[in-house]
Amino acid sequence: MTGPDTRATGPDTHVAGRSGAAGPSAVTGTDRGAPRVAVIGANGHGRWHRRVIAPLHAEGRLDLVALVDLQPVEDDPEAPVPQSTRVFTDHREMLRDVQPEVVVICTPPHTHLPIAVDVLAAGADVLVEKPPVLSIAEHRELLAAVAATGRAVQVGFQALGSAALAELTTAVTAGRLGTVTGISTVAAWQRPDGYYARAPWAGRRRLNGRPVLDGALANPLAHAIMQCLAVAEAVGGGPVDPVRIELERYRVRPIEVDDTATLRVTPRGEPPIVVAVTLAGEDFVRGEVIVDGTAGRAVLEYPTDRLRLPGDLQLREVPGRESLLLNLLAHRADPTGVPLIVPLARTAPFTRVLEVVQAAPEPTLLDGGLLTESGTGPERVRTIRGIDALLRRAAEQRALLSELDVPWSVRPHEVTLTGEEDAR
């Protein structure tokens, strides 16, 4: 989710000299006999969704009937805007005038709930980018809207559609790793100064009184957390129930959220999950999920769908990801026979983690000799000396940085959950 806020009102925008209204000869979803799909938040990361949709529209498997964005829709040669597609700046106007059947929401996190509620009330199903909401209260409100309307909400954790993850969880449930003793993930990415100037909500904890939480844990590296929770589901045979969450958050520039963190989630009756991630890394570590058991170790490089199970000599590619949009369309056609891959209820443990992150103290600012810099202006990158090795140690030992005697580490923020917070 990196699209702009699309809650503003206003007239239709114009794209490539074309009015927002479809012309008399436009092919409508009814004419095509295909599901009518709209995208709210068509720029930024919304362009990725448009690239997914473009070939499906061309093949007649869906009809892209509308795009919504506050700004003129950006040209993308891989996602041309069909002549029949209407363009709006107000999602409510779009819902009223176009009446889509499926809506992709790719707007800032703090706008997801009100937009999704509007979409469900209009009778459409939803594919909403991660994170779907930022608190358990919001999670419950959206679940209530799903129940009241009978519509579906799929959450855009696309890595959960991975064949590699499915092979890993099958190996876990089949006992190939023996008894699972721990799950962890490590990732080291880089983000330049310009990343935090990309939008008014970038790097913010709150905006206009609403939570935003645009940090490493909530946004770019959220998939790492969700992949671990998916493995924990397989271990426990059901939804993950966190009973304790411990969190350490750091930042290398004056933002309001974390760019580096270690996190430990202790589920009820299940092995701990440790997350060790940074956006101020040295060498690039794409993102690994490490599962240890009494009979061996498995490693999933989740961004590339490469997997190593006990007995494998190295990571091997496991091709295939099921499209969350196609899965949602198939679920619409056969709700009983085709379950959603990422229904909203499945993301409740992730939302629980985010709520703890939201309530945690401000991340500790790292500076001085701890950091190195390269580049200038918006391309300046700040990295933490030795951070990759530290995070890998944390993942290997399933420890927080403070437990590794890191001199600059801080006391963790700790929360014990009672079970009364259940949001499913």
Please report the domains of the chain, with CATH numbers, ordered by start residue.
163-319+344-416 (3.30.360.10)
Q: Which of 345, 341, 337 is nearest to 326 (CA)?
A: 341
Q: For residue 167, what is the enclosing H or E element?
A: helix 163-173
What CA–CA distance (Å, rounded) separates 139 from 423?
Answer: 7
pTM of the model: 0.90
The SS3 assignment for 388 reads helix
Q: Is the peptide bond before 335 cis (omega within 30 degrees of 0)?
A: no
Give the position of tokens 């309307």: 149
Q: Which of 358, 217, 200, 197 is nearest to 279 (CA)?
A: 217
Tell me, what amino acid is at 20?
G
Structure tokens at 117: 């509620």
Q: For residue 98, what is the enclosing H or E element?
A: helix 91-98
Is-contact 136 423, C-beta < 8 A? yes
Is-contact 325 187, C-beta < 8 A? no
- Helices and strands (DSSP H and E) totals, the chain: 10, 20
Render each residue's pLDDT in the chain as its tens digit; 424 residues.
444 333 333 323 323 223 343 333 333 444 558 999 999 999 999 999 999 999 999 999 999 999 999 999 999 999 999 999 999 999 999 999 999 999 999 999 999 999 999 999 999 999 999 999 999 999 999 999 999 999 999 999 999 999 999 999 999 999 999 999 999 999 999 999 999 999 888 999 888 888 888 999 999 999 999 999 999 999 999 999 999 999 999 999 999 999 999 999 999 999 999 999 999 999 999 999 999 999 999 999 999 999 999 999 999 999 999 999 999 999 999 999 999 999 999 999 999 999 999 999 999 999 989 999 999 999 999 999 999 999 999 999 999 999 999 999 999 999 999 765 556 5
> CA triplet 370, 246, 201: central angle to 5 degrees?
65
413-416 and 63-68 beta bridge pairing = unpaired
